[in-house]
Amino acid sequence: MDKHIIEGIRRAYDAFSRGDVQGAVDAVDLDPDILWREPEDFHAGGTYRGRQGVAEYLTLSREPFEKAQSLPEEILEVGDKIVVFVHFHAWPKEGGQPLEGRIADVYTIQMGRLCRCKPIATPKRRAKPLGFCPTTERLLRIIVPQSRYILNNELRLSTIWIIVGKYRASGRVRG
């Protein structure tokens, strides 16, 4: 995958963290019909289309916060996907407890452009017996399509990083 795409993604997160929504949108080459799906339980969750839709979502997602940062901790290339593991912090405008968490943003690339974005949140509940929770199963299918892992303990993105590390050694995942 072209390095300018990954550098553009890094610049987009940096611009968003500075509060520059338009800079975030302009930092990457977006497909004119990009499909951006945020989980309904996220603030401003829903489906957005096109550059204007992405700008609308990013603006709405920052609205209740005095400051919001999305810091990429790791970026992986997997086929036509780029997975960005993000550590976010958000400070509410009206005070209160700051929010913090981790998500994985999964971008699909076609013809050198971002054509789809879907974030996947880290589950805070324990994994179901004899398998991953559904959110994690979706992320693993994207990263390691042939995976069939069974865990009976709490699963975090760090666990996925360990699995991805094993696949990196085999050359199946880059990043």
**Per residue in 48-60, pLDDT tens?**
999 999 999 999 9
Chain centre distance of CA 109: 14
Same domain? For 143 and 157 the reply is yes
What's the mean per-residue pLDDT of the chain? 77
d(CA 42, CA 117): 14
The structural domain count of the chain equals 2
Same domain? For 86 and 108 the reply is yes
**Per residue in 125-159, pLDDT tens?**
333 333 445 555 556 555 544 333 323 233 345 44
Percent of the chain's residues with pLDDT above 90: 43
Same domain? For 127 and 165 the reply is yes
pLDDT at residue 102 in the model:
81
Same domain? For 158 and 101 the reply is no
**Per residue in 73-100, pLDDT tens?**
888 888 888 888 888 899 999 888 898 8
Containing H/E element for 59?
Answer: helix 50-62
Residue written as token pair 């996925």: 160
Same domain? For 19 and 103 the reply is yes
Print the domain residue range for 133.
Answer: 123-175
